[in-house]
Every structure is written in structure tokens, then in C-alpha cells.
Amino acid sequence: MSGIDVIYLDNAATSFPKPPEVAEAILEFLTHKAGNPGRSGHSLAVAADAVVAETRRSLASLLGVRDPSRLVFTLNGTAALNLAMYGLLRPGDRVVTTSMEHNSVARPLFALAERGVDVIWLPCAQDGSLDLEDLDRALRAAPTRLVAMTHASNVCGTILPIGAAAELAHRHGALLLVDAAQTAGVLPIDVTEQSIDLLAFPGHKGLLGPTGTGALYVAPGVHLTPMQQGGTGTHSELLSQPDELPFALEAGTVNTVGIAGLSAALRVLKATGIEAVRAREASLVERLLEGLQEIRGVTVHGPLDSAQRVAVVSVILHGWEPVDVGAALDSAFGIAVRPGLHCAPLAHRTLGTFPLGTVRLAPGYSTTDDEIDQALVALRELSLSAG
């Protein structure tokens, strides 16, 4: 159990519980450090600036970013993705993306297509995997500005091959934008080694920070047009937005309170180690998948091999609509899951689960084996009665 009386299996939406250090750091920040970073020379402004700078450094070290100033804080994963795509793409540009994308990639691209950006949607297989030959073929077909793809599906957990995609994209003169919403903090990511040009991620999922946090990494040489202009605390004599990162893309006061919480979460994550997180989540997924396969009337979507997926498991319970399973798990068993389309209608079309969607079970690092077993008992009970 996770602090309150619920078995929380909705970590793909936002992680819970947060490490206690997160709330402690937020309280400490609000009580002792809550000036406006970079805006004044007094002690509270300096203290706030130090927290923001330290968090940027911690993220850089976690993600293989050589220059922390190339990490721009945003309010969530969606804002980082929008900044990347609207900042980069112009009418006439071509983008290749996949059929497994979350609406935070798909909707901006759909809107950009209406403004004259050419968007190519690559169909993925029914287990959510991407055939790299399809990507290669799409890139050969015409000059492409950007490949935009998720690192792992938020519907069925399938991991997409971002390293190979980066190689292909670069061979054909395109940049790679990775949506790391489901992988930052749970899979090793090194933007330098993996040659990722743009990495967008929230702070409130696998990174264990509070909501209202996220960031975009922008590789050297990649220029994005700011979506907002405004105060940065630097070059105040100029009416134009400063060119240097992060300020070029970070107008206005950042979410210092959230960043203070994220900073504490990153310290916990560093002490734990991403490999330990990955191993623990893989073990929970194996336990869950094994149990699910023993329940008659349950279909599991996505790969059965834990090495090919993150801890996001989608199921259908025959005779039940996903929304009713979600309600029954909540009301009768105190289990929090997410039913439906998970903001990813294209992914559900790919899996063949549109329009009703699936029931998504997403354990996290602090989920216990017993909680997985209780979820399995509950699903087995539901499977014996009709929805």
C-alpha cells in the first residue's frame, strides 16, 4: 500500500507516491528559499537560483547532457513537445512519426499539418513495435526535417528503438525528437551517446517529481523559435528575446516550487540508480504478465518479454468494457488503474482496441509484489462475472 488506502497502478499518468523527500524539499523551499531565481541579488533570489541550477545539473547528469543550459524547464511533457515541434517546424517541412504516439505528439502534428507541414504517419505492428525498414523507406522517400517518436508506448509499454532511429534520421539529414514521457527515470537515456536532438519529458512521472514540471533538451546546433517572449532576468536592456539557452526558451518565472521538489526526487533516483529501478519494474511486470496469462478471458496487449517493454500493461477483460473494469477495481477493490484510450487513439487503432480502449495497469518502483497479486486476484474475480 502506498500511504493512502489504495493500490496505485496508474504510474503512467503520474507517479505516486512521491518520495517523502519531495514534499520536504517543497516545504523547505517555500519556507526558506522562495525568491525569484536570477531576478535579483538578494539571498532568497540567489537561493532559488541555486535550486534551479542544481536541478538542471542533476537532469543533465542523469540524461547524458553535456551542457545543462541546453535543458529548458517546462510545465509538463506536453509543453516540452509543443516547444520542440512548433519551435522547429515550418510550412513545407516534412515530419515522420508513428502510429503509437500520444496526443501530445499527434495533436500538435495534426495542427501543424493544417499549417502546411507534411506529416507521415508510420503504422506500427499490433504489439506496438516499429519496423525500422519502414522508417528507412519513409526517410528515403523525401527530404525530412524531423522524426518524432515516443520512446515507449503509454498504452502497451512497447519500447521503440530510438538509438537506431537517430542513426537513420541523421543519415537522411533529419533530426530526432524523442517523447520520453514513459521512460525518463525508468530506462537509461544518454542523449549524447544516443545522438538525440530533442528530448521532451515530464518531471512528474518516472522522475518522481511533482506535477507542473518537465523539460526539453535541445542539442547543440539545433535552433528553436521561442513560443513565448518575456522576462528572463538577463539582458534586460534588450527588447528582443536573448539568444542563449535556457533563457531563449524559458521566458517568465519557472515553477521554482515544483523544481525544488523535482531536485529532491532526482537525488533519490540517483541514490537508487536507474538500473535498480529498471530491474524492479521488470520484475513487477513479469509477475503481472505471468498472472494475467493464467486468467481466462484476459487479453494482454504489447510484448510479453519484459526486456521489450516498460511497466505499462494494457488488458481487455472479455465480457467487460474497460471503463466498467476500472470502476469495479476502484470501488470494490481499492485499485487505481486507467481505463479507456489513454490520450492515444492512434495507438489503440494500432492495437485494435479502438474505440473502447483497454484497462491499463502501470506499477511503479514502490509497488509491492503483494499489490500485484491483489490486482491479479481482483481481475480473476471480475473475469468470473460478466460486466
Ligand X SMILES: Cc1ncc(COP(=O)(O)O)c(C=O)c1O
Rule CB under 6 A: which residues touch ligand X?
13, 76-78, 102, 104, 150, 154, 179, 181-182, 202, 214
| C-beta of residue 216 within 8 angstroms of C-beta of residue 178 | no
* Residues contacting residue 137 through CB under 8 Å, at least 6 positions apart: none
Least distance CB 102 / ligand X (angstroms): 4
Q: Could you tell me the smallest distance in angstroms from the CB atom of residue 124 to ligand X?
A: 13
For ligand X, the closer of residues 93 and 179 by Cβ is 179
> Of the two residues 202 and 226, which places its CB atom closer to ligand X in the complex?
202
Q: How far is the CB of 221 from ligand X (least distance, A)?
A: 25
Between CA 127 and CA 138, with CA 133 as vertex, the angle to 5 degrees is 105
Nearer Cβ to ligand X, position 350 or 383? Answer: 350
Beta pairing class for 313-317 and 358-361: antiparallel
Strand 146-150 with 313-317, pairing = unpaired
Residue among 87 and 214 whose Cβ is closer to ligand X: 214
Query: Nearest CA to 180 among 216, 209, 211?
Result: 216
CA atoms of 158 and 152, how far apart (whole Å) = 5
Contact status, residue 71 vs residue 56, Cβ threshold 8 Å: yes
Give the HSE-up count for residue 261: Cα atoms under 13 Å, Cβ half-sphere. 22
16 or 320, CB closer to ligand X? 16
- Least separation in angstroms between residue 204's CB and ligand X is 6
- In the complex, what is the shortest distance from the CB of residue 198 to ligand X, in angstroms, rounded to a whole number? 13
**What gap in Å lies between CA 13 and CA 7, rounded to an integer?**
14
Q: For residue 75, what is its C-alpha cell?
A: 510545465
What whole-number distance in Å separates Cα of residue 136 and Cα of residue 10? 35
CB of 42 to ligand X, least distance (A): 33
Characterize the bridge pairing of strands 94-98 and 118-122.
Answer: parallel
Q: Which is nearer to ligand X, 187 or 378 (CB)?
A: 187
- Please, what is the minimum distance in Å from the beta carbon of residue 83 to ligand X? 12
| Residue 24, CA distances (Å) to 32, 180, 201 in order | 12, 27, 23
Residues in the chain: 387
- Concatenated DSSP letters of 293-340: HTSTTEEEES-SSGGGB-S-EEEEETTS-HHHHHHHHHHHH-EE-EEE
Rg (CA), the chain: 21
Of 153 and 232, which CB lies nearer to ligand X in the complex structure?
Answer: 153
Q: Point out the residues that are catalytic.
A: 343
